[in-house]
Structure 1
Amino acid sequence: MSMGNLRLPFLAATLCLLVHVALGKGSATTGLDDAQQCRLWRIRATQPDQRFESEGGFTELWSEDDDQFQCAGVAAVRNILHPNALFLPEFINAPRLVFIEQGRGLLGINYPGCPETYHSGRSSGGSSGRGRRWQEEGQQGDRGRRDQHQKVHRIRRGDIIAIPEGTVHWCHNDGNEELIAISIIDLNNQGNQLDQRLRAFFLAGGFGGQGRQQGRRGGRYSIQNIFQAFDTELLAESYNVPMQIAQRLQQQNNRGIMIDVGERLRVVAPEEDEEYDEEYEEEQEERMRRRRGQGGRWSLASENWFDEMFCTMRIKQNVDIRREADVFSRQAGRVNVVDMHKLPILRDMDMSAERGRLLPNALYTPHWSMTDHRIVYVTRGEAHVQIVGQDGQNVFDERVSEGSMFVIPQFYATVSRAGDGGFEWITFKTSSQPMKSPLAGYTSVFRALPLEVITNSFQMSPRDAQELKYNREHQTFLLSPSCRSRSLSD
């Protein structure tokens, strides 16, 4: 057989292999099964449809079966924690991004392999007098051991908090009002290798067999801590404690997952040791700078590498600080974005957030997202929002108000106009480096199109094309109200 005849079957086989690999790669990168494909004919603003009551507060969940949440691959939760209540320690199966809508409190988060205290390797004498007094009086055990400065974070209204999958966290409301936290869990994230359902694992507390559940999805619901199913003797041996202590780990109760604390929770909070925290963080940053200067690369041989790179990463960023706005307009409002550049831990979680405020009747320019699905939660006011799919049809055309949530899928175009009282929202995004493409304003697609392309595409005069390109040349994303552009009026 000649060389020419040999090439034909080889080329055909190679082409088939390339097609097979390309198709396989395309289907693997979506991470969505048939039930999660984004076949969205209608999106609607929704409220939570399930509620679980605990002694110290309640938990509300949006339906995971809603097509829009299935498309985005996320779960949405709202926790309301009463004053002086404790949200019991838990970990979940996917990365979680939290927005503090109201109140203040303390948050503890523990990373496996990281020191449990900021004092590791240092003398505890650096703590403030007040923090030291709490340690000596409030946290000294039977064997004379004291808790040092646990990794506790002060959280407050406007904070975005990043909680990686599998990390134990708890929260205490030490304020005078309810602490309201909105969470989005990215179930489609590569950190979750289970199914696309929210799974919470509690170390304490739980609901009984009946539970205390309200909502459209009725039936029994049971949450118990993970210690309950272990053998008591194995637990006692694991901790080297008497059986009665191991049995306390397994006790059943109907107090729920939030409990009232009889007295003020005695932990060394950031206020008690704020001076030491700043000193410690400055020292860690300086050590990291020196390490980068020694060749610019991190050495795994360093015993402090994990601590310096991961254990000291910030987990929160406040998005209510006006001077840190990424987009600001005196006539329209402002937008604060938290991505991996502001909060580096988001790089691994592949999530981000946006906090926005529109002044009365101002517009958020028509645009689409190039990188992510967006889950929008309304915190105040109302707005008229439209979302358009690839077939040029409205999939969403509603007035949204406080407490409602909806999804804007990737690449779907959207526009919003605030009501007479203004509009505020928080958006959770499924990308750590989000990008948007505006259709109006000085950074818009129209500014990049030649006039001839616009006039021929839309069969309009050159003068009209110039108005499209330049009438908003001093604004971008946030557009002030215009008496000539009231197409979204009631």
Structure 2
Amino acid sequence: MSLSSSSNSLPYSTDQGGYSTHDTLVLLGIGFFATAVSVLMIVRSEAGDTEYFDERNEQFRCAGVFVIRRVIEPQGLVVPRYSNTPALAYIIQGKGYVGLTFPGCPATHQQQFQLFEQRQSDQAHKFRDEHQKIHEFRQGDVVALPASVAHWFYNGGDTPAVVVYVYDIKSFANQLEPRQKEFLLAGNNQRGQQIFEHSIFQHSGQNIFSGFNTEVLSEALGINTEASKRLQSQNDQRGDIIRVKHGLQLLKPTLTQRQEEHRQYQQVQYREGQYNGLDENFCTIKARVNIENPSRADYYNPRAGRITLLNNQKFPILNLIGMGAARVNLYQCISSKEVCEYRLPIIKEDLCLMVYFIRGNY
């Protein structure tokens, strides 16, 4: 699979004629002509919108992909969830934070403090909050979302963040039916469920905790009944993009603190024989990379534009995703007699290509 992002280097305009490609998704499948695909429906949440493309589209089904676009308002949080399929998320605009929780990996934030405080004071001290590394994202970033890895997005900027997700339905990691399914770990999507009941979509609107008895959930997690009800979010009508009223408070240690904590943590694991390759090759793998920076272009022509390719050598986590990406900036033809042609290098004949046009016209 390959996800490509293409944009004109000039501001969006159609004064010179042609077809507008502003926020347009185009499919280039095997044996098909290039076809623009429009948004089928929009589901409104408290702090943003989720736009769904038609998964019944013949080229979507042939390519085995599912595409959505989210607009996250400032202080908007896309509640934690995981999917049965891997995905690539491209940040069209905005900035904020994204958190991924890899199964079997330690919560590196606060867990180190817990270990050393226990050793020094010989008293068990348990933090209420611990998590794995949180990544900052900005415009032009590609975020890899492996299957079954819980993740969330938070808009920490002053402008809306726009994110396009492409899910690989045919991935070997998908052990369920051939369609994308999301499993919410918080909140619910009752608004979306009301719309989906009369459409092609059959996504569940409740989070996974809603299926448990309140008393059983309280006993299993060691929390009171009221907290269990809040966790199930049965009467929450805010949707799956909620607003954090006072902003999301994150742990952001300084560089020297981070380096010292990581060194001490590795020493403890080596001493106790707990260190293995999983930590190095999976738990600390980079999940975000920027492909908008002109200095990282793989192909450049001062008259035509530039191309930045993203493969598993630059971005090793793609070995888990099974997808690729490219960002293309095409310059406007200066002369009306000049023929402008774009050909993406190293394209296989059996490759299904998805192109998302950010702005420009042709």
TM bin, normalised by shorter chain, reads 0.7 to 0.9
Deviations 1:99-129 (A, max 9, x none): 000000011110011011245446899xxxx
Q: Name the residue aligned to 1:161.
A: 143
Checking the alignment, whether the CA contact within 8 Å between 1:150 and 1:267 is kept in structure 2 is no
Checking the alignment, whether the CA contact within 8 Å between 1:319 and 1:338 is kept in structure 2 is yes
The one-letter amino acid of 2:174's match is: N
Question: Normalization by structure 1: what TM-score?
Answer: 0.58
Q: Name the residue aligned to 1:263.
A: 246
Q: 1:350 aligns with which of 312, 322, 328?
A: 322
2:52 corresponds to 1:71: no
Q: Name the residue aligned to 2:17.
A: none
The whole-number CA distance in structure 2 between the counterparts of 1:52 and 1:209 is: 7
2:47 corresponds to 1:56: yes
Checking the alignment, whether the CA contact within 8 Å between 1:235 and 1:246 is kept in structure 2 is yes
The one-letter amino acid of 1:311's match is: C
The one-letter amino acid of 2:36's match is: A
Q: Name the residue aligned to 2:73.
A: 82
Deviation at 1:348, TM superposition (A): 1.9
The whole-number CA distance in structure 2 between the counterparts of 1:113 and 1:219 is: 32
The one-letter amino acid of 1:303's match is: Y
Match of 1:369, SS state, is coil
Checking the alignment, whether the CA contact within 8 Å between 1:213 and 1:221 is kept in structure 2 is no
Q: Name the residue aligned to 1:101.
A: 92
Match of 2:343, SS state, is strand
Distance 1:366 1:322, change over 3 A: closer
The whole-number CA distance in structure 2 between the counterparts of 1:278 and 1:339 is: 29
Question: Normalization by structure 2: what TM-score?
Answer: 0.77
Map 1:345-424 → 2, pairs under 5 A: 345-361=317-333, 362-365=340-343, 368-370=347-349, 372-383=351-362
Q: Name the residue aligned to 2:101.
A: 110
Q: Name the residue aligned to 1:330.
A: 302
Deviations 1:430-483 (A, max 9, x none): xxxxxxxxxxxxxxxxxxxxxxxxxxxxxxxxxxxxxxxxxxxxxxxxxxxxxx
The whole-number CA distance in structure 1 between the counterparts of 2:57 and 2:240 is: 25
Q: 2:254 aligns with which of 273, 278, 286?
A: 273
The whole-number CA distance in structure 1 between the counterparts of 2:148 and 2:201 is: 28
The one-letter amino acid of 1:238's match is: A
Distance 1:359 1:211, change over 3 A: same
The whole-number CA distance in structure 2 between the counterparts of 1:371 and 1:75 is: 19
The one-letter amino acid of 2:310's match is: V
Deviations 1:369-427 (A, max 9, x none): 346321111111123xxxxxxxxxxxxxxxxxxxxxxxxxxxxxxxxxxxxxxxxxxxx
Q: Name the residue aligned to 2:158.
A: 176
Checking the alignment, whether the CA contact within 8 Å between 1:96 and 1:162 is kept in structure 2 is yes
Q: Name the residue aligned to 1:30.
A: none
The one-letter amino acid of 2:317's match is: I
Deviation at 1:205, TM superposition (A): 1.4
The one-letter amino acid of 2:166's match is: I
Deviation at 1:85, TM superposition (A): 1.1
Q: Name the residue aligned to 1:417.
A: none
Deviation at 1:207, TM superposition (A): 3.0
The whole-number CA distance in structure 1 between the counterparts of 2:260 and 2:159 is: 32
The whole-number CA distance in structure 1 between the counterparts of 2:261 and 2:308 is: 28
Distance 1:146 1:249, change over 3 A: closer
The whole-number CA distance in structure 2 between the counterparts of 1:149 and 1:167 is: 13
The one-letter amino acid of 1:187's match is: I
The one-letter amino acid of 1:228's match is: S
Checking the alignment, whether the CA contact within 8 Å between 1:124 and 1:148 is kept in structure 2 is no
The whole-number CA distance in structure 2 between the counterparts of 1:219 and 1:240 is: 36
The one-letter amino acid of 2:360's match is: G
Checking the alignment, whether the CA contact within 8 Å between 2:191 and 2:239 is kept in structure 1 is no
Match of 1:115, SS state, is coil
The whole-number CA distance in structure 1 between the counterparts of 2:174 and 2:286 is: 22
Match of 1:80, SS state, is strand
Deviation at 1:242, TM superposition (A): 2.1
The whole-number CA distance in structure 1 between the counterparts of 2:95 and 2:255 is: 17
The one-letter amino acid of 1:347's match is: N
Bigger share in helix = 1
Deviation at 1:233, TM superposition (A): 2.1
Higher relative contact order (CA 8 A, sep 6+): 2
Distance 1:348 1:51, change over 3 A: same
The whole-number CA distance in structure 2 between the counterparts of 1:221 and 1:237 is: 29
The one-letter amino acid of 1:229's match is: G
The one-letter amino acid of 1:273's match is: T
Checking the alignment, whether the CA contact within 8 Å between 1:96 and 1:184 is kept in structure 2 is yes
The one-letter amino acid of 1:66's match is: N
Q: Name the residue aligned to 1:189.
A: 171
Q: 2:233 aligns with which of 230, 251, 266?
A: 251
Deviation at 1:147, TM superposition (A): 4.1
Match of 2:320, SS state, is helix
The whole-number CA distance in structure 1 between the counterparts of 2:305 and 2:32 is: 32
